[in-house]
Amino acid sequence: MHLPNGYVSQSPPQFPVVRLRGLPFDCTETDVAEFFHGLDIVDVLFVHKGGKFSGEAFCVLGYPLQVDFALQKNRQNMGRRYVEVFRSKRQDYYKTIANEMSESCGSPRRNIPRAKSYDEGKDSAEHTGVLRLRGLPFSAGKDDIMEFFKDFVLSEDSIHITMNSEGRPTGEAFVEFANAEDSKAAMAKDRMALGSRYIELFPSSVEELDEAVSRGR
């Protein structure tokens, strides 16, 4: 099969990604997953410009066939906003990842407006050995989180990926470390990349962990 210029031979001809425009500014990954209810969401990448959320995002789906279903959501409402859905390309998605990563490295605390209220208390928070992770790819598993924290001794039982009431990942997880010293040291990984996403870390507690796990049951 002849491939057009710019395609690598081993790449699939269609990368299942769509672009969304007009999202509410308090939009979360879970909101996007609910907007595309019934489709397999692999990743949601929010687009920032000048440190502020632009109202745009990329959504990677499980299969090329699902792109057509996603496009049927064009101009449907999310909250009070109607959202536009377009076809997109692999290279646009990866170019945006590179831009987001470089911008977050330049000014890591500026890039996520939703996290501001947490930032002030992060450094002074008391550690109990539990961290909450936010911004995980929906496809991330326990082995990915263990690799992310490969400098620490973790078991699968110490990792809890939270689900919503429908059994779908929320993009959050809790990790129980051996002790408070380890969880405090692990905060050095805050805003570092796991796959295409940079992950936010927050000191947490066993109580918050139990509450989040029970909500998903």
Q: Is the sign of the CA dihedral 60, 93, 45, 149 positive or negative?
A: positive
Q: Where are the domains of the chain?
A: 17-106, 117-215
DSSP track, 23-70: --TT--HHHHHHHTTTS-EEEEEEEEETTEEEEEEEEEESSTTHHHHH
The CATH number given to 17-106 is 3.30.70.330
Give the CA dihedral 93, 164, 142, 113, nearest 10 degrees.
Answer: 50
DSSP lists the bridge partners of residue 114 as none
Superfamily of chain region 117-215: RRM (RNA recognition motif) domain (3.30.70.330)
CB 17 within 8 A of CB 95: no
- Weakest-pLDDT range from 7-21, 32-46, 110-124, 163-177: 110-124
The domains spanning 17-106 and 117-215 adopt the same CATH topology: yes
The most distant pair of C-alpha atoms in the chain lies apart, rounded to whole Å, by 59
pTM: 0.55
Rounded-to-integer distance, Cα 180 and Cα 76, Å: 46
For 18, counting Cβ atoms within 10 Å of its Cβ (0-12 exposed, 13-18 middle, 19+ buried), the class is buried
- Weakest-pLDDT range from 61-75, 111-125, 162-176: 111-125
Rounded-to-integer distance, Cα 70 and Cα 216, Å: 26
- Weakest-pLDDT range from 6-10, 28-32, 181-185: 6-10
Tens-place pLDDT, residues 38-90 = 888 888 999 988 888 899 999 999 888 999 999 999 999 998 889 999 999 98
pLDDT at residue 131 tops 50: yes
pLDDT at residue 14 tops 60: yes
208 residue type, one letter: E
C-alpha triplet 51, 53, 59: angle, nearest 5°: 125
- Weakest-pLDDT range from 115-124, 179-188, 193-202: 115-124
Return the structure tokens found at 82. Answer: 């109607």
pLDDT at residue 154 tops 60: yes
